[in-house]
Amino acid sequence: MLRIECPCCGPRDHDEFRYGGDASVTRPAHDDPDPEAWYRYVYVRTNPAGLHREFWQHVIGCRQWLVVERDTRNHAIASVDLARKLSARKSPARKPPA
Ligand SMILES: [Zn+2]
């Protein structure tokens, strides 16, 4: 069982959250005509043994999107941050899923 430390609500069971996908991929620009870039964004994923950045939404809580850095080998959570806070610092193309 995972316990995710929501920045807004505190530690909660992972049953309160919905997994939103890989947070380490970068979305191409909306007008990028390269089908290969879109193919990689939608379908190509790595399967790392170690730290992995993931989107999670606190659906039974504050409904915020989070970026959780989790070790796939033992499920230890290294960091949790609000996705909107991180996306404000990065390119506008990097947003949490809708
Ligand atoms: Zn929350």
Is 0.85 surpassed by the pTM of this model? no
pLDDT at 42 over 70: yes
80-86: long-range pairs with CB below 8 Å, 24+: 80/4, 80/5, 80/6, 80/7, 81/7, 82/7, 82/8, 83/23, 83/55
Band of pLDDT at residue 97, cut at 50, 70 and 90: low
Q: What is the pLDDT of residues 52-96, one digit of tens each?
A: 999 999 999 999 999 999 999 999 999 999 999 877 666 444 456
Give the distance (Å) from ligand 1 centre to CA of residue 39.
Answer: 32
Give the distance (Å) from ligand 1 centre to CA of residue 60.
Answer: 8
**3-89 classified as CATH 3.30.2270.10:** yes
